[in-house]
Amino acid sequence: MADITFDDIKQAVTDCINHQVRSVTDWHFGEPVYENPDECPELEGTAGLRELSARLHWTNFRMWHLEDRVRRTDVPEKVIAECKFAYDRLNAVRNSLAEAIDVCLVSMMHRLLPADCEDRYNTETVGCALDRLSVLALRVYHMEEQARRRDAAEEHKETCSGLCGKVQAKHDRLMRSVLELIDDYAEGRKKPEVHQYFKMYNDPAMNPELYKNK
Q: What is the 3-state secondary structure of the chain? A: CCCCCHHHHHHHHHHHHHHHHHHHHHHCCCCCCCCCCCCCCCCCHHHHHHHHHHHHHHHHHHHHHHHHHCCCCCCCHHHHHHHHHHHHHHHHHHHHHHHHHHHHHHHHHCCCCCCCCCCCCCCCCHHHHHHHHHHHHHHHHHHHHHHCCCCCCHHHHHHHHHHHHHHHHHHHHHHHHHHHHHHHHHHCCCCCCCCCCCCCCCCCCCCHHHHCCC
86 Cβ contact list (under 8 Å, min separation 6) = 66
19 pLDDT more than 70: yes
Model confidence at 82, pLDDT cuts 50, 70, 90, reads very high
- Using only the alpha carbons of the chain, give its radius of gyration: 19
Model confidence at 180, pLDDT cuts 50, 70, 90, reads very high
| Residues 40 and 93 sit within 8 Å (Cβ to Cβ) | yes
Digit-coded pLDDT (tens) for 20-57: 999 999 999 998 888 888 889 999 999 999 999 999 99
Whole-angstrom distance between the N-terminal and C-terminal Cα of the chain? 48
Digit-coded pLDDT (tens) for 137-169: 999 999 999 999 999 999 999 999 999 999 999
pTM of the model: 0.92
Model confidence at 1, pLDDT cuts 50, 70, 90, reads low
Q: Where are the domains of the chain?
A: 6-203
Interatomic CA distance for residues 46 and 13, integer angstroms: 8
| Residues 90 and 59 sit within 8 Å (Cβ to Cβ) | yes
Interatomic CA distance for residues 62 and 199, integer angstroms: 21
**How many alpha carbons lie under 13 Å from residue 20 in its C-beta half-sphere?**
29
213 pLDDT more than 80: no
Q: Is 148 exposed, middle or buried (0-12, 13-18, 19+ CB in 10 A)?
A: exposed
- pLDDT on residue 2: 59
